[in-house]
Structure 1
């Protein structure tokens, strides 16, 4: 009975029909979401294991410093009009784009965009 090809084909047909039903898909989708959420929580917990509250406090302070300090590297991509004018003035005086990129900490393509009005 175990190796009967007709029974196997019948079981396989029923299984395929069951898998196509919306209820089954919803159930599997819910299980997958729950499993991923559990795994994600476990990964985060493992990454932070043993670090304690002091680590979290330092991370929080570092994040705040990033957002509040205008001299932070993060804010250099957001150019003020004054800074754009300064870059254009340097280029007008004959500074090469490569030199301006190094001086202002931007890419050469960004310097070129500023030079041409972006």
Structure 2
């Protein structure tokens, strides 16, 4: 994929570069007493994550980033995001994909960097 200038907004981890995504899944969180399970839309990233497990061992696992959280299963969300990424995989495309949980599932919007005005850049909005 040539999506090195397209970023995906995660739920709580900031921005994820789209060319690092190797998988899109949805799964339910475990049910807890007094709390209903939630559905998560996750992106699997093409880097391994490790953590120490005591002693000299090091556990390596795949890294997941949550893109959206919904009350109902977002059955079509992984495919919808994959289709959007395929459409954006063109030379010169740059911008941010923002997932939004709605009562109908997860919707994705794309804001192109080409829409930015020339001049100074501020991180304050």
More helix by share: 1
More strand by share: 2
Give 1 or 2 for the bigger CA radius of gyration. Answer: 1
TM-score range with shorter-chain normalisation? under 0.3
TM-score, L = length of structure 1: 0.23
Considering Cα pairs closer than 8 Å and 6+ residues apart, tell me whether 1 or 2 has the greater RCO.
Answer: 2
